[in-house]
């Protein structure tokens, strides 16, 4: 079974470089992955992609066609591509016996996976077919500030809440800055508080802002449960260190997906099917009630018909309408016809025909008068 790895992260976190190094690492182990690029605005991809969004969606044309800016055009391009995600899944399925991993590069516009519909469609499509893991890439040197780190963690938490998939926090660029400080912040609340206080002392702009300090501390307490469900991997896309540990963590997350997430998703799908069936049954009952029909004759004291065609056979010509408990509304007949469709006055049809002939011969001014004359005569 192919494992899908969705690489998500802020712009500049090194997702594309991470993808290139992961692709090379898997090739070196003779287990080449199936590679998908979902970034429509990238000029050059440093890895060979099996599926490239740029082959299907022209980013600059979307920007011009819809009068959008760069970020809006990227989100719109991904939305357009997500309408064909079923074809992507079919292509991956056809090659699933040849690959163990499917790695997906995504745009730096992280809002695609926070609130845009395309992110939900893409993750749902992959997760419903293959074991899927979110690799959230973090630029380690840029997260040495506690407030920046907290902001990044909130984004990761929102994506986890949105996708409901196993997630790995990947601290990238560890060749520049080791990720020990971040891992400590995630496991030791007091260490994070000390780092926050120290950061406020170093930045004059932060001094006196008791509200912000209290807010960040409160959020770090809130995220403590979030941290407990995550696995951490520290890698360097430049040197290639840490990727063996990352793949081991992926295997662990696949087992977690099969044990917990897949079961939960199956239960959600079953519940959804059950709710859809109940809605369908309810709509059918309303429809049959509106038509005066019943699925079970024995459930009512009155003898009701099951199909519309049976209504014609319930009453024979000349039979009392109320004999079977069916009451029809009073009808007004234009030509005073009886229930069998025969005219009571044999001469009435001829009178109307003469009136019609007269209107075609006389002028338009006399038309109303002639019609009234013949009608009065017919009624007399």
Q: What's this model's pTM, rounded to 2 decimal places?
A: 0.69
pLDDT at 209: 55
331 lies in a domain? Answer: no
Q: Where does the pLDDT of residue 370 fall: very low under 50, low under 70, confident under 90, or very high at 90 and above?
A: low
Residue 136, strand partner residues: 8, 169
Tell me the CATH number at 39: 3.40.50.300
73 lies in a domain? Answer: yes
53 alpha-carbon distance from chain centroid: 19
320 lies in a domain? Answer: no
Q: Which of 259, 268, 270 is nearest to 131 (CA)?
A: 259
305 lies in a domain? Answer: no
- Token readout for 195 is 């780092």
Provide the number of structural domains found in the chain: 1
Encode pLDDT of 344-361 as tens digits: 445 555 665 676 666 555
Highest averaged pLDDT of the listed ranges 113-122, 243-252, 284-293:
243-252
Q: Find the mean pLDDT for residues 231-247.
A: 93
For the ranges 14-28, 47-61, 159-173, 264-278, the lowest mean pLDDT is seen at 264-278
115 lies in a domain? Answer: yes
325 lies in a domain? Answer: no
Angle at 302 between CA 296 and CA 321, to 5 degrees: 125
Q: Please spell the DSSP secondary structure of 247-305, one letter per residue.
A: HHHHHHHHHHIIIIIHHHHHHHHHHHHHHHHHHHHHHHHHHHHHHT--S-GGGSSS---
315 lies in a domain? Answer: no
Structural domain of 103: 3-203+214-257
Radius of gyration of the chain (CA): 36
303 lies in a domain? Answer: no
């Amino acid at each position: 079974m192919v494992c899908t790895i969705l690489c998500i992260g802020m712009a500049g976190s090194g997702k594309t470089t991470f993808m290139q190094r992961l692709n090379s690492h898997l090739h070196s182990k003779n287990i080449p992955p199936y590679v998908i690029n979902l970034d429509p605005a990238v000029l050059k991809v440093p890895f060979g992609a099996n599926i490239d969004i740029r082959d299907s969606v022209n980013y600059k044309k979307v920007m011009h066609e819809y009068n959008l800016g760069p970020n809006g055009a990227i989100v719109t391009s991904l939305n357009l591509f997500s309408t064909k995600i079923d074809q992507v899944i079919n292509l991956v399925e056809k090659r699933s016996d040849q690959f163990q991993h499917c790695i997906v590069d995504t745009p730096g516009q992280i809002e695609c996976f926070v609130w845009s519909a395309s992110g939900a469609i893409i993750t749902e499509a992959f997760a419903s077919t293959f074991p899927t893991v979110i690799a959230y890439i973090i630029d380690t040197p840029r997260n040495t500030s506690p407030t920046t780190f907290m902001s990044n963690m909130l984004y990761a938490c929102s994506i986890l809440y949105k996708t409901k998939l196993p997630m790995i926090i990947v601290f990238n660029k560890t060749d520049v800055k080791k990720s020990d400080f971040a891992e400590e912040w995630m496991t030791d609340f007091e260490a994070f508080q000390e780092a926050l206080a120290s950061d406020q002392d170093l930045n004059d702009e932060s001094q006196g802002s008791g509200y912000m300090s209290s807010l960040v501390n409160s959020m770090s307490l809130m995220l403590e449960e979030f941290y407990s469900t995550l696995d951490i991997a520290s890698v360097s896309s430049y040197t290639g260190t840490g990727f063996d540990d990352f793949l081991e963590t992926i295997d662990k997350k696949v087992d977690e997906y099969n044990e917990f997430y897949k079961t939960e998703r199956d239960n959600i799908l079953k519940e959804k099917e059950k709710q859809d069936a109940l809605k369908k049954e309810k709509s059918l009952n309303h429809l049959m009630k509106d038509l005066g029909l019943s699925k079970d004759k024995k459930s009512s004291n009155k003898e009701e018909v099951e199909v519309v065609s049976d209504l014609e056979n319930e009453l024979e010509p000349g039979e009392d309408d109320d004999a079977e408990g069916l009451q029809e509304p009073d009808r007004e007949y234009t030509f005073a016809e009886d229930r069998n469709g025969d005219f009571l006055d044999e001469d009435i049809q001829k009178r109307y025909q003469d009136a019609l002939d007269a209107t075609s011969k006389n002028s338009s001014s006399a038309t109303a008068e002639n019609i009234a004359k013949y009608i009065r005569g017919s009624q007399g």
